[in-house]
Amino acid sequence: MQEATESIDSAPGRPAGPSIWAILRRRWWLIVALMVGAVAVTLVVTLSAPPAYRSSLRLQALALDDQEVALYTRRSSGGVSEQIALTQFNFNETLQNSLIAWRTIRDLDLEISANQLLGNLSTSAAGDFVTVTYDAATPQEAMDVLNRHVENALAYYNEIRARPASVSGQFVSAELATQGQRLRQAQDALLQFQLEHNVGDLPREINAVQDNVRAIRAARDAAQIQASLAETLAQQYATQADASEAELAAAQQALAELSAGGETLTADQQASREAQAALVARLSQAAAEQRSTARAQQIAAAGQRTVATQNESLLNQRAGDLAQLIGLSSDYNALQAALDAALADYDFLRSKAAEARLKEAQAISVGSLQVVDPAFLPGEPGGSSALRLVLLVAVVSLLAGLVLAMLLEFVSPTPARP
Q: What is the DSSP string of 161-191?
A: HHHHHHHHHHHHHHHHHHHHHHHHHHHHHHH
Any bridge partners for residue 133, and if so which?
A: 56, 122
- Answer yes or no: is pLDDT of 9 > 60: no
Q: Per-residue pLDDT tens for 12-23?
A: 444 445 567 776
Would you place residue 8 in the very low, low, confident or very high pLDDT band (cuts 50, 70, 90)? very low
Strand 121-126 vs strand 129-136: parallel, antiparallel, or unpaired? Answer: antiparallel
Q: Three-class SS of residue 59?
A: strand
User: According to the model, what pLDDT value does residue 97 have?
Assistant: 92
141 closest CA partner among 171, 107, 166: 107
| Confidence at residue 4, expressed as pLDDT on a 0 to 100 scale | 38
Task: Band the pLDDT of 222: cuts 50, 70, 90.
Answer: very high
Mean residue pLDDT of the chain comes to 82
Q: Indicate the pLDDT class of residue 1, thresholds 50, 70 and 90.
A: very low
pTM of the model: 0.58
The reported pLDDT for the residue numbered 2 is 39
**Per-residue confidence band for 399, with pLDDT thresholds at 50, 70 and 90:** confident
CA distances from 295 to 39, 198, 238, 298, 309 (A): 145, 47, 8, 5, 21
For the chain, the 3-state helix, strand and coil shares in percent, each to the nearest 5, are: 75, 5, 20
Rg (alpha carbons) of the chain, rounded to whole number? 60
Range from 117-131, 362-376, 388-402 that averages highest in pLDDT: 117-131
Predicted confidence band of residue 344 (pLDDT cuts 50, 70, 90) = very high
**What integer pLDDT is reported at residue 67 of this predicted model?**
59
Query: Of the segments 107-116, 275-284, 357-366, which one has the largest average pLDDT value?
Result: 107-116
Mean pLDDT score, 285-294: 89
* Lowest-confidence segment of 47-56, 78-87, 387-396 by average pLDDT: 47-56
Q: Are 101 and 116 in contact (CB under 8 A)?
A: no
Name which of 163, 109, 121, 198 is nearest 359 in CA terms. Answer: 163
How far apart are alpha carbons 77 and 65 in whole angstroms? 9
Higher pLDDT, 76 or 401: 401
